[in-house]
C-alpha cells in the first residue's frame, strides 16, 4: 500500500500539530511496510511540492499530481488540508478512480466562530465599549457569525462529503459540526481517530517535579491566547514568588508576547524558544493551556504522559475527550481568569491533590499511544480499499 500525505504548507515539524502528526503517522505506517510520500502546495526543500505556487487547483498542478500518482502508484491520499478551501479543490476535483481520498479535519469547524470575539484582537478592543459589549453578549451576534460561516463553507463541505471515501475527525464530538454545515452528510463515511503521542510512551520513572508551570506550543494571541496566560501568571507569581513559568515554542507573535511580559514587569517567566519539550514535561508540575480553540490539543496528552497536571479552558469540544475535570486534570469555564488562577493556586497548595491528578493523568493517556491509533488507521484503510 502507498499513501500520500497532502498539505498546504510543507511538513516541517517546527511549524505545528498537523505537521507533527503527519510525520508521526508516516513513520508508524512505514514500520508496517507502507510506502509514504509527502506533497505540499507551497515550496519545500524536504519533499515534493506543486509547480504552480499561485493557484492550487490549476491544470499545471493537476497534471503534476496525476503523474505523481501514476509514477508512485499511490493508493490513498490523506488530505490534511481539508479546512482550506483553495488547497482542497485540487484533491477533491481529482479524477483518478483508482485513488481513494480520505479527508482529515485537524481542527474544530465551529470553535473559531463560537469564540470569535475572544480570539479576535479587533473585536476584543471594541468589546470595552458598552454598546459593543452588549451586542457581543446577545445571541443574535453569534447567530450572525455562524450564518456567515455557513454561507462560506457549506458548498465546500458538501464537496468534501461527496468526493471523499472517508472523512476523519479528531473526536466524534465534531460530527455535529459537520452536520451543521451539511445535514445530509453520509454518516457511513465519518470516522473519529485521535492524534497519537508524538513520542514513545515514557516507561521511565518520572522524578520529583519542580515548582514550574509550563506552556508548550505556538506563541500567538489569536488562537493560543498566550496573552491570557501572562495575565493569569501575574496573579499567580504575586502569591507564589518561588514558582516559575516556562514558555516553550516559537511563533509569529513571540516578540510581541515577550514585549507584553516586559511591559507587565512579570517575574519568573522564561521564554525558551523552540525546544524538544520532553525535559520540560519531566520537570514541570502543571501544564497550562489558554487556547480559544484547538482541534485536539496534542500538548495536553504529551504533558499528561509525563505526569504534568493539565489545566485548560473548556473552550473546544475535544478537550473533554482528554481531560476529566478533577480526575486527570482541570477544566475551567471558558476565559474565566479568576477561576483559572484559583485552580492553579489549589494545585500549588495541595501537593497530595496534585499528585493524585498527575498519576491519573499519566494512566489515562495510554489510550493515545501510537499502536492503538495506528490500528484504527489500518482498519480504516482496509475499509476504504475494500469498497472497490
* Interval 344-382: pLDDT, tens: 999 999 999 999 999 999 999 888 887 889 999 999 999
Residue given cell 493551556 in the structure block: 289
* Interval 104-151: pLDDT, tens: 999 888 877 776 656 555 444 544 555 555 555 556 667 788 888 899
**Within a domain: 19:** yes
**Does one domain contain both 58 and 183?**
yes
Residue given cell 455535529 in the structure block: 176
Count of CB atoms within 10 A of residue 149's CB?
18
**Does one domain contain both 218 and 357?**
yes
Q: What pLDDT is stored for residue 23 in this prediction? A: 92
Say if residue 221's pLDDT is above 50: yes
**Does one domain contain both 320 and 299?**
yes
Q: Give the pairing type, strands 48-49 and 76-79.
A: unpaired
**Cα(first)–Cα(last) distance of the chain, in Å?**
15
**Does one domain contain both 265 and 333?**
yes
Q: Which residues pair with 247 in a beta bridge?
A: 215, 271
**Band of pLDDT at residue 66, cut at 50, 70 and 90:** very high
**Within a domain: 123:** no
* Interval 335-345: pLDDT, tens: 999 999 999 99
Mean pLDDT of 10-23: 84
**Does one domain contain both 169 and 317?**
no
Element (H, E) at 55: none
Q: What pLDDT is stored for residue 139 in this prediction? A: 65
**Does one domain contain both 269 and 373?**
no
**Does one domain contain both 8 and 62?**
yes
**Within a domain: 122:** no
**Within a domain: 265:** yes
**Within a domain: 138:** no
Q: What pLDDT is stored for residue 122 in this prediction? A: 45
**Does one domain contain both 166 and 314?**
no
Taking the C-alpha atoms of residue 248 and residue 278, their distance in angstroms, rounded to an integer, is: 11
**Does one domain contain both 350 and 225?**
yes
**Does one domain contain both 186 and 310?**
no
Q: What pLDDT is stored for residue 348 in this prediction? A: 97
Mean pLDDT of 166-172: 95
* Interval 313-329: pLDDT, tens: 998 888 999 999 999 99
Taking the C-alpha atoms of residue 78 and residue 42, their distance in angstroms, rounded to an integer, is: 17
**Within a domain: 259:** yes
Domain of 340, in residue numbers:
212-368
Question: How buried is 294 (Cβ within 10 angstroms: 0-12 exposed, 13-18 middle, 19+ buried)?
Answer: buried
Task: Count how many domains the chain has.
Answer: 2
Q: What pLDDT is stored for residue 123 in this prediction? A: 47
**Does one domain contain both 291 and 189?**
no
Mean pLDDT of 171-187: 93
Q: Identify the three-state secondary structure at position 102.
A: strand
Mean pLDDT of 379-386: 93
**What value does the mean pLDDT of the chain take?**
89
CATH code of residue 162? 3.40.50.2000
The strand ranges marked E within the chain are 2-7, 35-40, 48-49, 76-79, 100-104, 166-169, 190-192, 212-216, 244-248, 269-273, 286-289, 309-313, 330-332
**Within a domain: 128:** no
Higher pLDDT, 46 or 237: 237
Question: How buried is 263 (Cβ within 10 angstroms: 0-12 exposed, 13-18 middle, 19+ buried)?
Answer: exposed
Taking the C-alpha atoms of residue 229 and residue 297, their distance in angstroms, rounded to an integer, is: 16
CA angle 72, 66, 83 (to 5 degrees): 100
**Within a domain: 134:** no
Amino acid at each position: 500500500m502507498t499513501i500520500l500525505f497532502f498539505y498546504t504548507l510543507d511538513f516541517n515539524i517546527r511549524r505545528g500539530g498537523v505537521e507533527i502528526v503527519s510525520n508521526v503517522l508516516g513513520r508508524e505506517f512505514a514500520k508496517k511496510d507502507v510506502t509514504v510520500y509527502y506533497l505540499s502546495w507551497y515550496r519545500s526543500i524536504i519533499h515534493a511540492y506543486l509547480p504552480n505556487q499561485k493557484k492550487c487547483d490549476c491544470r499545471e498542478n493537476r497534471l503534476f499530481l496525476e503523474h505523481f500518482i501514476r509514477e508512485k502508484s499511490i493508493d490513498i491520499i490523506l488530505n490534511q488540508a481539508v479546512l482550506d478551501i483553495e488547497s482542497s479543490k485540487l484533491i477533491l476535483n481529482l479524477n483518478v478512480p483508482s485513488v481513494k481520498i480520505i479527508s482529515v479535519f485537524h481542527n474544530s469547524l465551529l470553535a473559531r466562530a463560537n469564540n470569535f470575539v475572544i480570539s479576535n484582537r479587533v473585536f476584543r478592543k471594541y468589546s470595552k465599549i458598552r454598546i459593543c459589549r452588549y451586542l457581543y453578549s446577545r445571541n443574535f451576534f453569534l447567530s450572525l457569525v455562524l450564518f456567515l460561516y455557513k454561507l462560506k463553507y457549506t458548498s465546500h463541505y458538501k464537496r468534501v462529503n461527496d468526493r471523499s471515501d472517508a472523512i476523519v475527525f479528531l473526536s466524534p464530538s465534531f460530527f455535529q459540526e459537520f452536520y451543521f454545515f451539511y445535514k445530509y452528510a453520509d454518516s457511513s463515511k465519518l470516522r473519529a481517530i485521535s492524534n497519537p503521542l508524538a513520542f514513545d510512551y515514557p516507561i521511565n520513572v518520572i522524578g520529583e517535579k519542580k515548582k514550574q508551570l509550563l506552556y508548550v506550543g505556538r506563541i500567538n494571541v489569536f488562537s493560543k491566547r498566550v496573552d491570557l496566560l501572562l495575565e493569569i501568571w501575574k496573579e499567580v507569581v504575586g502569591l507564589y514568588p518561588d514558582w516559575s513559568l516556562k514558555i516553550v515554542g516559537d511563533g509569529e507573535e513571540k516578540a510581541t508576547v515577550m514585549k507584553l511580559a516586559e511591559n507587565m514587569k512579570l517575574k519568573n517567566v522564561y521564554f525558551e524558544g523552540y525546544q524538544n519539550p520532553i525535559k520540560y514535561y519531566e520537570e514541570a508540575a502543571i501544564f497550562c493551556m489558554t487556547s480559544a480553540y484547538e482541534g485536539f490539543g496534542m500538548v495536553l496528552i504529551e504533558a499528561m504522559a509525563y505526569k504534568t497536571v493539565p489545566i485548560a479552558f473548556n473552550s473546544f469540544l475535544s478537550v473533554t475527550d482528554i481531560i476529566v475535570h478533577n480526575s486527570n486534570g482541570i477544566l475551567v469555564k471558558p476565559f474565566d481568569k479568576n477561576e483559572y488562577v484559583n485552580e492553579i493556586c489549589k494545585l500549588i497548595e495541595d501537593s497530595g491533590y496534585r499528585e493524585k491528578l498527575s498519576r491519573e493523568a499519566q494512566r489515562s493517556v495510554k489510550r493515545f499511544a501510537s499502536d492503538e491509533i495506528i490500528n484504527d488507521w489500518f482498519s480504516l484503510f482496509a475499509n476504504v480499499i475494500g469498497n472497490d
